[in-house]
């Protein structure tokens, strides 16, 4: 497998991956979405709520606020350990972080409570963004609550997914048969290409190799060509993987954790097969 970083910033990562089968790359993509644990609000206790919103509505909004989770992966128990403790009726401090929110409407105006108004019991677990609106309060309206966040996985609920986007696509292969091409009388493929992959260069039509990775495989160039000189396909075992973080974890950390989870799953399957589970012990 060969991996090249095409784009990298604080919240996104774009990779060119070669020499890998699609089913394996898709397994990594699905692990990014559903298997990497992050912190999110799971329980909310309301002491007071005289706003126009139901308790459940506010709790839902709180749950979807991304919480910083880099250090939480080492400090708190895994989702499986916390679930097991909960089934035994044990409230473990190693599972939960308490965040408090309180506010009151102002006379003759509107008071907006934001994610930055949440006071966390752990400075390492707090809202990633301070300006996510939670609720607006009018005069004589009050909200006071305690929210409890824990580690979870996206397969349990999307609020625990560390990514907002995770996708892969084929790398395009565009070929132009100059023997069939009627350039310069016809320039239709150049005109319709939305990514300017096909260009006019040195007195002929060429494929801009530098922009080939941007090709969306829309096949417009192939469709409008009257002489069928343009053929669009894709390269074997070569893909672009792109994902965006919610901010809970860095893109690099998300990718590392996803591959660890996938590796653990494969090792578990291998061990089960070697031990003969489901095969009568043979």
Q: Of the residues 223, 242, 261, which one is the last residue of a structural domain?
A: 242
Domain count of the fold of the chain: 2
The CATH number linked to 55 is: 2.170.120.12
Q: Report if residue 152 sits inside a domain.
A: yes
Looking at residue 270, its pLDDT comes to: 87
Q: Residue 42's domain spans which residues?
A: 38-160
Looking at residue 279, its pLDDT comes to: 53
User: Tens-digit pLDDT profile for the chain (282 aa)?
Assistant: 899 999 999 999 999 999 999 999 999 999 999 999 999 999 999 999 999 999 999 999 999 999 999 999 999 999 888 888 777 777 778 899 999 999 999 998 899 999 999 999 999 999 999 999 999 999 999 999 999 999 999 999 999 999 999 999 999 999 888 888 888 888 888 888 898 898 888 778 888 888 888 898 999 988 998 888 889 999 989 999 999 999 999 999 999 999 999 999 989 888 888 887 555 444
Q: Are 39 and 67 in contact (CB under 8 A)?
A: yes
Give yes or no: residues 85 and 137 share one domain: yes
The CA-based angle 256-257-258, given to 5 degrees, is 90
DSSP secondary structure of 3-20: EEEEEE-SSEEEEEEES-
Give yes or no: residues 139 and 46 share one domain: yes
Looking at residue 92, its pLDDT comes to: 76
Looking at residue 278, its pLDDT comes to: 55
Both tokens assigned to 106:
């102002």
DSSP β-bridge partners for residue 8: 13
Give yes or no: residues 29 and 168 share one domain: yes
Both tokens assigned to 271:
């061990």
Give yes or no: residues 220 and 110 share one domain: no
The CA-based angle 252-254-255, given to 5 degrees, is 65
Q: Are 262 and 28 in contact (CB under 8 A)?
A: yes
Looking at residue 282, its pLDDT comes to: 44
Report the C-alpha gap between 122 and 72 in whole angstroms. Answer: 9
Q: Report if residue 212 sits inside a domain.
A: yes
Q: Report if residue 247 sits inside a domain.
A: no
Both tokens assigned to 95:
């599972």
Phi, psi of 248 (to 5 degrees): -65, -40
Smallest Cα–Cα separation from 82: which of 74, 91, 73?
A: 91
């Amino acid at each position: 497998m060969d991996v090249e970083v095409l784009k990298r910033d604080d919240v996104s990562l774009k990779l060119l991956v070669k020499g890998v089968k699609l089913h394996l790359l898709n397994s990594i993509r699905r692990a990014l979405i559903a298997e990497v644990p992050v912190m999110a609000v799971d329980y909310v206790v309301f002491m007071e709520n005289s706003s126009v919103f139901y308790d459940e509505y506010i709790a839902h909004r709180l749950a979807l606020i991304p919480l910083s989770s880099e250090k939480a992966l080492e400090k708190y128990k895994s989702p499986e350990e916390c679930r097991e403790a909960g089934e035994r009726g044990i409230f473990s401090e190693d599972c939960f972080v308490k965040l408090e929110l309180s506010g009151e409407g102002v006379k003759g105006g509107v008071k907006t409570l934001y994610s930055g108004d949440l006071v966390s019991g752990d400075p390492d677990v707090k809202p990633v963004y301070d300006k996510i609106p939670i609720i607006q309060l009018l005069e004589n309206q009050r909200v006071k609550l305690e929210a409890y966040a824990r580690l979870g996985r996206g397969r349990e609920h999307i609020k625990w997914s560390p990514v907002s986007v995770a996708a892969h696509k084929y790398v395009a292969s565009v070929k132009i048969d100059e023997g069939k091409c009627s350039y310069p009388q016809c320039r239709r493929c150049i005109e319709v290409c939305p990514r300017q992959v096909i260009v006019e260069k040195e007195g002929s039509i060429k494929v801009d190799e530098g922009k080939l990775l941007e090709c969306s495989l829309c096949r417009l160039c192939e469709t409008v060509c009257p002489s069928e000189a343009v053929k669009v396909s894709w390269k074997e075992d070569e893909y672009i993987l792109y994902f965006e973080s919610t901010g809970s974890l860095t893109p690099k950390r998300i990718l590392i954790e996803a591959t660890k989870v996938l590796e653990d799953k494969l090792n578990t399957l291998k061990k089960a097969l070697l031990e003969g589970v489901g095969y009568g012990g043979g």
